[in-house]
Structure 1
Amino acid sequence: MTLTVSRLANGLRVASLDMPGLETAAVGLYVDTGSRFEPAPAHGVAHMLEHMVFKGTRRRSARQIAEEIEAVGGHLNAYTSRDQTTFYARILAEDMPLGLDLVADLITEPVLDAQEMNREREVVLQELSQARDTPDDIIFDDLQEAAFAGQPLGRSILGTEETIQSLQPEDVRTWLDEHYRAESMVLAAAGKVDHDTIVRLAEERLGGLPSGKRPEGFAAHYTGGEARTSKPLEQTHVTLGLPGVSYADPDYYPLLIFATALGGGMSSRLFQAVREERGLAYSIYSYASNYAETGLTTIYMATGPEAAGDAVSLTLETLLRSLDGMSEEELHRARAQLKASVFMGLESCSGLSEQIGRQLLLFDRVIPTKEIIERIESATAEDVRRAAQRMIEAGPLSLATVGPSRIVPSLNKLQAYLS
């Protein structure tokens, strides 16, 4: 496989990875902006833009967008995260010009019609309501808000009823004009692709994007905090949060290994201790989230209301015991899981397109797979133990619950136990 990266005159990076043997391709436009860059009055505007571009462009109606991609058996979609917005197409290789044209059309030609926005506003409000009706969905937003209190990084991606209702087409247009700058975007394609063709098409359709970078964001720092949402549910959903690290931090891989060994699978310490040995939770796992300057390590569990107290206590006890170090066998399994995830991602042109786009945005280079594997393998047991100890000492615990939580101890009690 051959990766090639070019830069257009306006600063847009264009990357392609030719994957011999495939007859399909994926192309995505990766934008270095998301909900964490929104000012408070425009909370939800990044996600609203993602919705509105599919409601019609100057060249295509919403129906034509859907019909053109599906007429060739392709898939066109988008998503918004806290630090990135992505528009992508998966198509047969021969239909790459159409896929790229559709992706470009969404961000260069959107109409942003007021009547369409009024209709789509209701769709977003329904999406928000659906999220709030799903306890193992909203609880992660609650934890994020508690962990990064009073900061854009702590806000939900969808917005609130008030901000969604207040957003107008001109707000969306302003966001598009200010944040969708060529130097803050990457066009990445993978599969059966020809780089020269991709560059030519990108120049035709995206060469007119304004140069420069998006405005600077709002710096974030972990605070810790507590959020409890009472709902008449059969289960109690609990998340615990601790400070994480940035993508570029030397402890990125050691902490990733720790989170995986702690709760990344059925052989993990938490799954074995809380579910298998005590039967206190149906679901329990841990993972690490990372951002440009900070991060969040999360433990999630779904448990019976009467068992919630014991489940949380055993979880913290298991976490504390893990700080003394994990066996080489445990760390070997965690490393194997992470390496397998890396290699499995190489088999998907969609996954590779996203990996290329995201890494170019984050590091201005694509990290070779060999380098990633070496970093995973070179993290020693002492590196993992030290990174975990650093996490515990870096800041207070965060707690979020959804459902009956009477038996879940207060954050102060949990913090005292952890200390």
Structure 2
Amino acid sequence: MTLQISRLANGLRIASLDMPGLETAAVGLYVDTGSRFEPAPAHGVAHMLEHMVFKGTRRRSARQIAEEIEAVGGLLNAYTGRDQTTFYARVLADDIPLGLDLISDLITEPALDAEEMNREREVILQELCQARDTPDDIIFDDLQETAFAGQPLGRSILGTEETIQSLQPVDVRDWLDGHYRAESMVLAVAGKVDHAAIVRLAEERLGSLTAGRRPDCAAARYTGGETRSAKPIEQTHVALALKGVSYSDPDYYPLLIYATALGGGMSSRLFQAVREERGLAYSIYSYATNYAETGLFTLYLATGPDSAGEAVSLTLDTLLGSLDGMSAEELHRARAQLKASVFMGLESCSGLSEQIGRQLLLFGRVISTAEIIERIEAATAEDIRAAAVRMVQSGPLTLATVGPSSRVPGVDTLQARLS
């Protein structure tokens, strides 16, 4: 596979990865902005833009956008994150020009029609209601909001009923003009590709993007705390979080390994202790979330209301017990899971396009597979143990519950056990 990177005069980076043997390609435009960059009155505008660009452009109606991509058997979609927004197409190699043209059309010539926005506003409100009706979805928004209280990073991506209702086409246009700057974007194409042809197409369709970078956002400050939502449901959902690390932190890989060994699979400590040995939960896992300057380490479980206190107590016992160090066998399995995930990602042009785009935005370079594997292997048992201890000691605990939670101890009680 051959990776090539070029830069247009306006600063837009174009990366292509030729993957011999494929007849398809993934085209992705990765934008270094998301919901954490929004001003409070425009909360939800990044996600609103993602919806509105598909409602029509100056060159195509919403129906034409859908029909053109599906007429070639392709897929066109987008998603908004807290730190980045992505637009992507999956097409046959011969249809790369169409995929790139459609994505370019979405961000350079969206109609942003007021009548269409009123209709789409109702769709997003339904999306918000659906999320709130899904306990193992909304609990993570509650956790994020509590962990980063009163800050943009803590806000949900969707917005609130009030801000969604208040947004107008001018707000979306201002967001697009102010944040979609060429130097804060990467076009990454992986599959059966011709780099020179992609650069020419990008120059034609994206060469007019405004140069420069999007505005910076405020650095986040982890706060911790507690939130409970007493929804009338059958199960108790519990999420616990500790302050994590940034993408560039030396403990990034040690904590990935630790999260996997603690609760990343069926052989993990949490799964074995809480589910297999005691039958206290159906779902239980841990994972790390990373941002430019901070992160979260999250433990999640869903259990019966009567078992909730016991399940949470055992989860904390398991976490604390792991701070004495993991066995060589546990860490070997965790490393194997992470390495397998890396290699499996190499078989997907969509996964590779996303990896290239995100890494160029985050680090200004593409990290080779060999370097990733080397970093996973290089993390020693002591590195992993020390990273876990640092995390537990780095700040207050965050607790979020959804459903009946009278048996779940308060965050102060839980924090006292960790201390």
Question: 1:239 and 2:239 equivalent?
Answer: yes
Equivalent residue number for residue 188 of structure 1: 188
| 1:48 paired to 2:69 | no
Q: For residues 158-307 of structure 1, what are the structure 2 equivalents within 5 Å?
A: 158-307=158-307
Secondary structure of the residue aligned to 1:275 is helix
* Deviant stretches of 4+, over 4 Å: none
* 2:335 alignment partner in structure 1: 335
Aligned length: 419
Question: In the alignment, residue 17 of structure 1 is paired with which amino acid?
Answer: L
Tell me what 1:29 maps to. 29
SS at match of 1:242: strand
SS in 1 for 2:172: helix
The 2-side partners of 1:261 and 1:155 are apart by 30
* Cα deviations by residue, 1:38-64 (Å, 9 ceiling, x for unpaired): 010000000000000000000000000
TM-score normalised according to structure 2 size: 1.00
Aligned match of 2:322: 322
Report the AA paired with residue 329 of structure 1.
E
1:97 alignment counterpart: 97
Q: Which residue of 2 aligns with 1:152?
A: 152
User: Quick one: distance in 2 between partners of 1:355 and 1:299?
Assistant: 25
Q: What is the CA–CA distance in structure 2 between the aligned matches of 1:229 and 1:76, rounded to whole Å?
A: 36
Residue 105 of structure 1 aligns with an amino acid whose one-letter code is: D
Deviations 1:86-135 (A, max 9, x none): 00000000000000000100000000000000000000000000000000
- CA distance in structure 2 between the aligned counterparts of 1:416 and 1:297, rounded to whole angstroms: 18
**Offset from partner CA, 1:282-331 (integer Å, 9 cap, x none):** 10000000000000000000000000000000000000000010001000
**For the residues of structure 2 that align with 1:123 and 1:245, how far apart are their CA atoms?**
35
Letter in 2 for 1:264: G
Cα distance per residue 1:329-355 (max 9 Å; x no partner)? 000000000000000000000000000
> Which ranges of structure 1 fall in alignment gaps of 5 or more residues?
none
Cα deviation for residue 248 of structure 1 reads 0.2
Measure how far apart 1:361 and its partner are.
Answer: 0.1
Matches of 2:48 and 2:85 in 1, distance apart? 11
Provide the C-alpha distance between the structure 2 equivalents of 1:157 and 1:218, rounded to a whole number of angstroms. 17
Partner AA of 2:285 in structure 1: Y
Aligned counterparts of 2:316 and 2:259: Cα–Cα separation in 1:
14
1:221, CA displacement in angstroms? 1.5
Task: Name the amino acid aligned to 1:352.
Answer: L
**Cross-structure match for 1:377:** 377
Deviation at 1:418, TM superposition (A): 1.2
Separation (CA, whole Å) in 1 of partners of 2:317 and 2:146: 22
Percent identity, aligned pairs only, is 84
CA positional deviation for 1:417: 1.1
Look up the match of 2:71: 71
**Could you tell me how far apart the structure 2 residues matched to 1:224 and 1:337 are?**
30
Partner SS state of residue 248, structure 1: coil
**What CA deviation, in whole Å up to 9, does each residue of 1:145-190 have, x standing for no partner?**
1111111000000000000000000000000000000000000000
Amino acid at match of 1:364: G
Distance in 2 of aligned mates of 1:400 and 1:295: 17
Structure 2 Cα separation of the partners of residues 126 and 104 of structure 1: 28
Are 1:366 and 2:362 matched, yes or no? Answer: no
* SS, match of residue 58 in structure 2: coil
Question: CA separation in 2, counterparts of 1:416 and 1:363?
Answer: 38
Letter of the structure 2 residue corresponding to residue 324 of structure 1: D
- For 1:65-88, what per-residue CA distance to the aligned partner results, in whole angstroms no more than 9, with x for missing partners? 000000000000000000000000
The 1-side partners of 2:233 and 2:335 are apart by: 37
Structure 2 partner of 1:140: 140
| Partner residue, 2:356 | 356
One-letter identity of the residue aligned with 1:383: D
Deviation at residue 37 of structure 1 after TM alignment: 0.4
Paired amino acid for 2:8: L
Superposition RMSD in Å: 0.4
3-state SS, counterpart of residue 246 of structure 2: coil
Deviation at 1:218, TM superposition (A): 1.5
